[in-house]
């Protein structure tokens, strides 16, 4: 049996077939137009003349077989239409794979950029640089001071805020530059991420590479990123009038939204990737994975409160805190709940408890998964997740005991992102890949 491409038939002319073939093609044209797809336009050279009309009508029959006079009866006709459908399905699958791979690569770049932004933001906070730029200029702020006069002007603006008067009084212009560059870099990276996200999004959208179900979620992520820029300035403004640092409430809000953007980006990226077909090890494994992911985000929020209150610089012992497992003086402020946000001792203690809870959850999840189905991908991911949580806890303890050195504090913040990202990917693994949308031709 020999397969002849449709291009060969075109060179000979379709009317070079039998009379039956001509009548079949004419019938298709009268029905709703002869549809010959280059990709699937093939005909069996050994086919009898009687079968030729069905082969030529296959493209039209796929569209609407009830309207095609030549596509209504024989099993051979249906078999030929099925073959065409298989070719088209394979073509659509290849196209979807290619598009999803491109979108995944783009989102991976976004994830790396977000991680860099969070780390630079952490360095900005730890070096006391966050209030060095006292004005919000979304466009003009891209260009830093270039002359001595411009540097002096920027420095004079900084001298007006309480942080300079109470902490950095007597600072020179050169010393001011060292804190200015951290904040400027943080803002520049944030603006750059807007372009890294928006430009490819527009390109993929208008070239049809983004599936319909993802268009508005991705547009929503872009909008959330823009809102995050406003939150950043709202945070900075809290330290320009009456405080020498930013509000811990606003800092926690800013970091948590950044981590939500990171988590949602990871969720979408993993949903576009192939997954194993392994069944969940237990009935509650997927629910537990979601609880772990949400706990990781909440733990990051608690860590931001610790950072905002500089609570990590006190009670630098472990496992005891102030000489006890449960220290006294946790609820000395009134009302009692305000201690959870404004008492440095209480905030640090709650952050420690959050770490213990996360450790316990991942351990329980690991043990139950290994007992039920140790050979599954889900169980292996649970093992990796538990290992990451243990490593992050170790870094956190060392950071506390060594009184928050810059490098270890940044490692702790970066480790939080790694744990969160893997927890989200692990959770998404229980749902698998997004169903594929087959576009209509």
pLDDT in tens, the chain (441 residues): 444 444 443 444 433 344 444 444 444 444 444 444 434 444 444 444 444 444 444 444 444 544 455 445 455 555 555 555 555 566 678 888 899 999 999 999 999 999 999 999 999 999 999 999 998 887 767 899 999 999 999 999 999 999 999 999 999 999 999 999 999 999 999 999 999 999 999 999 999 999 999 999 999 999 999 999 999 999 999 999 889 999 999 999 999 999 999 999 999 999 999 888 889 988 899 999 999 999 999 999 999 999 999 999 999 999 999 999 999 999 999 999 999 999 999 999 999 999 999 999 999 999 999 999 999 999 999 999 999 999 999 999 999 999 999 999 999 999 999 999 999 999 999 999 998 876 544
Nearest alpha carbon to residue 303 among 413, 176, 215, 174: 413
SS3 392: helix
Identify the pLDDT of residue 139: 76
Q: Which helix (H) or strand (E) holds 4?
A: strand 3-5
SS3 433: coil
Contacts of 228 (CB under 8 A, 6+ apart): 190, 254, 257, 258, 261
Cα Rg, the chain, nearest whole Å? 31
CB–CB of 440/212 below 8 Å?
Answer: no
Residue 111 token pair = 């994830």
Q: What are phi and psi of 43, to 5 degrees?
A: -140, 140
Identify the pLDDT of residue 138: 78
Give the predicted TM-score (pTM) of the model: 0.80
Nearest alpha carbon to residue 247 among 300, 305, 301: 305
CB–CB of 155/176 below 8 Å?
Answer: yes
Q: Alpha-carbon dihedral of residues 255, 256, 257, 261, nearest 10 degrees?
A: 100
Q: Is 278 left (phi over 0), alpha (psi -120 to 50) or beta?
A: beta
Identify the pLDDT of residue 300: 98
Strands 42-44 and 3-5: antiparallel
Tokens 């030929």 found at = 80
Contacts of 174 (CB under 8 A, 6+ apart): none
CB–CB of 109/197 below 8 Å?
Answer: no
Identify the pLDDT of residue 93: 80
Euclidean distance between CA atoms 169 and 177, whole angstroms: 15
Supply angle C-alpha 292, 297, 301, rounded to 5: 140
Contacts of 390 (CB under 8 A, 6+ apart): 359
Percentages helix, strand, coil for the chain (3-state, rounded to 5) are 70, 0, 30
């Amino acid at each position: 049996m020999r397969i002849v491409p449709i291009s060969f038939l075109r060179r000979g002319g379709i009317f070079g077939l039998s009379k039956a073939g001509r009548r079949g093609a004419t019938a298709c044209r009268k029905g709703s137009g002869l549809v010959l797809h280059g990709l699937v336009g093939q005909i069996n050279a050994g086919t009898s003349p009687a079968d030729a009309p069905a082969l030529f009508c296959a493209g039209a029959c796929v569209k609407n077989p009830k309207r095609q006079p030549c596509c209504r009866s024989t099993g051979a006709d249906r078999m030929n239409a099925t073959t065409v459908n298989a070719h088209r399905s394979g073509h659509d699958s290849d196209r979807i794979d290619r598009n999803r791979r491109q979108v995944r690569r783009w989102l991976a770049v976004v994830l790396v950029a977000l991680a860099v932004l969070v780390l630079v933001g952490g360095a900005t906070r730890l070096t006391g640089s966050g209030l060095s730029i006292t004005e919000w200029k979304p466009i003009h702020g891209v260009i830093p001071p270039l002359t001595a006069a411009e540097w002096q002007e920027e420095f004079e603006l900084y001298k007006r805020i309480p942080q300079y008067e109470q902490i950095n009084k007597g600072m020179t212009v050169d010393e001011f530059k060292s804190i200015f560059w951290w904040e400027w870099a943080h803002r520049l990276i944030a603006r750059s991420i807007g372009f890294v996200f928006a430009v490819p999004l527009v390109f993929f959208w208008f070239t049809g590479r983004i599936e319909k179900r993802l268009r508005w979620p991705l547009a929503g992520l872009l909008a959330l990123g823009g809102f995050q820029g406003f939150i950043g300035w709202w945070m900075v403004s809290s330290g320009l009038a009456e405080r020498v640092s930013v509000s811990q409430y606003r800092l926690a809000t800013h970091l948590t939204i950044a981590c939500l953007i990171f988590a949602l980006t990871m969720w979408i990226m993993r949903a576009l990737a192939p997954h194993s077909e392994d069944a969940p090890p237990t009935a509650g494994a997927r629910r537990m994975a979601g609880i772990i992911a949400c706990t990781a985000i909440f733990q990051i929020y608690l860590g931001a409160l610790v950072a905002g209150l500089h609570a990590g610089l006190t009670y630098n012992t472990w496992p005891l805190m102030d000489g006890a497992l449960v220290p006294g003086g946790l609820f000395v402020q009134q009302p009692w709940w305000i201690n959870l946000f404004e008492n440095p001792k209480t905030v640090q203690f709650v952050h420690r408890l959050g770490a213990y809870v996360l450790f316990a959850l991942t351990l329980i999840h690991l043990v139950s998964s290994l007992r039920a189905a140790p050979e599954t991908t889900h169980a292996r991911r649970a093992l990796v997740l538990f290992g990451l949580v243990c490593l992050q806890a170790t870094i956190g303890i060392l950071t506390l005991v060594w009184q928050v050195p810059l490098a270890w504090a940044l490692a702790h913040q970066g480790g939080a992102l790694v744990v969160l990202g893997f927890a989200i990917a692990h959770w998404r693994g229980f749902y698998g890949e997004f169903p594929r949308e087959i576009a209509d031709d």
